[in-house]
Amino acid sequence: MENNKVLIVDDQNGIRVLLMEVFSSEGYETYQASNGKLALEIVRAKRPDLVLLDMKIPGMDGLEILRHIKTIDVDIKVIMMTAYGELDIINEARDLGALMHFTKPFDIDELRFAVNHQLRGDLNSRTPIGT
């Protein structure tokens, strides 16, 4: 069975490194991008199963990246990450196909649970809130 692929898109290196470690240890094939251009190149070349996408990225914001991802492959799952609680942007991301969002600083175990649930259907006794 092929490993699921996770792409982490965030302009903060520390967050990318942390999430790469977490999801590599979960058995996922992981990729990272610090900007939208690189993220879309990886999406085209590797077809990740799930993208963890920061909303605020210099050059091309998360909503724009999300739009492009969905035109490349509508089945790629996207979970948004944001340091801002802007409801209108969060709602727009959901309208564009994002599954949920996590507000930074997020609980790494809740994020891990959400990713595992989306990719493996792992169900524990609780459901991720996504906030």
**Which pLDDT band holds residue 125 (cuts at 50, 70, 90)?**
very low
Residues with Cβ within 8 Å of 59's Cβ and at least 6 positions away in sequence, in order, are 35, 36, 37
**Which pLDDT band holds residue 6 (cuts at 50, 70, 90)?**
very high
- The pTM assigned to this predicted structure is 0.91
Range name among 49-53, 62-66, 104-108, 127-131 with the lowest pLDDT average: 127-131
Tens-digit pLDDT profile for residues 58-112: 889 999 999 999 999 999 999 999 987 788 889 999 999 999 999 999 999 999 9
H/E element holding 9? strand 5-9
* Per-residue confidence (pLDDT) for residue 129, from 0 to 100: 40
